[in-house]
Homo-oligomer: A and B are copies of this chain.
Amino acid sequence: MRQRLSIEDYTTGILAGDRIMLSQAITVTESRLPADKELAAAILKEILPHSGNAFRIGITGVPGVGKSTFIESFGNYLTSEGMRVAVLAVDPSSQKSKGSILGDKTRMEKLAHNPMAYIRPSANGLFLGGIAKSTREIMLLCEAAGYDIILIETVGVGQSETLVKSITDFFLLLMLAGAGDELQGIKKGIMEMADAIAINKADGDNVMAVNHAISAYQNALHLFPKSESGFLTKVLPCSALMENGMDIIWALIQEYEQVTRANGFFHQNRQKQNINWMHDQIREALDDLFYGDPKVKTKLQELEHSVKEGKELPGSAAQDLLDVFLTK
């Protein structure tokens, strides 16, 4: 049985950078118990003025690309430069058999024991909406606890990368040389979302292949539309295993931050993210009200098949469901 502390205990602890208090507060925000929800809201309200100061980096790539090794290597590089680093994961698939990417901290052994770093595996048993909410909140808590860089890891195969893009300042895509087969797993649209692409495993015999991949991708990206940020997507080599290239990637991210702070995109993007977050939560709550309604559920089952097969108009089915919902 977990013991609840007072709001003050949590907030004072978090603001003092107490990792145990931070972990406990995160557990509270992830809880579904009504008493915890109230407590979480109160803690978040208190720490809000102290949040927002970290640089938020999303990191994605298909399984096998070396994400855990990259984060281990990049995280240790950042702490060696004097920064405090928090690592979060958005991994809805962990509900299934695959297991959480960060569930096994031993995959980031050095970082897990680094006093300047904080690793939080993703909560189990949450749907994407729940993960979105809790990841955003955990990010704010980590910021209030004084972390300078938030790394959010996700697998680039589902909807989670759109979510991570919507809560971060910079989106890094990890890839391997020899494009083709390993791309089968990645979702369309992710490459165009990336602010930078790092081609991993640039070591040993693979260096030539990586250099070739870099020029191929760089050429390809020139053909694609420019990002709203005004920053041209760059492709860089790295070897997470050999801890090579971390400095160059960090220099690029710093350049991105300078450019986007100077042209106003950084601030506008954060503002837009805040507003979208509010509307997302409203939409989610309305969805819950609607789709959670027992009468709607029954009617929906009835209609879904005929709509799918084009035997019922989607518009009139929607109207029928709304009528059922609004009739009390």
Contacts and interface: CB of A to CB of B under 8 A. Distances in A.
Interface of A: 41, 44-45, 48-49, 51-52, 133, 136-137, 179-180, 183-184, 186-193, 216-217, 219-228, 270-271, 274-275, 277-279, 281-283, 285-287, 290, 303-304, 307-319, 321-322
B188 A307 contact: no
A271 B279 CA distance: 28
A281 B41 contact: no
B310 A52 contact: yes
Contact of A310 (B228, B274, B304): B274
B308 A225 contact: no
A164 to B, nearest CB: 16
A41 to B, nearest CB: 6
Complex copy number for this chain: 2
Contacts of A220: 219-221, 223-224
Contact of A45 (B283, B313, B314): B313
Contacts of A310: 48, 51-52, 270, 274
A275 B227 contact: no
Nearest to A185: B225
Interface-central residue, A184, A221, A286, by most chain B CB under 10 Å = A286
A41 B307 contact: no
A285 B309 CA distance: 23
A180 B232 CA distance: 12
Contacts of A189: 189, 192-193
Nearest to A315: B281
A310 B140 CA distance: 11
Given A133-B315, A188-B192, A315-B277, A217 B225 contact: no
A317 B278 contact: yes
Instruction: Give 9 closest A-B pairs by Cβ, nearest first.
Output: A220-B220, A281-B318, A278-B314, A277-B314, A271-B308, A286-B286, A186-B225, A188-B192, A282-B318
Contacts of A217: 223
A126 to B, nearest CB: 15
Contact of A224 (B49, B183, B283, B319): B183
A324 to B, nearest CB: 11
A193 B192 CA distance: 11
A136 B307 CA distance: 14
B137 A315 contact: yes
A309 B271 contact: yes
A184 B230 CA distance: 11
A308 B183 contact: no
B285 A318 contact: yes
A322 B285 contact: yes
Contacts of A180: 222
A183 B278 contact: no
A223 B179 contact: yes
A281 B314 CA distance: 8
A191 B192 contact: yes
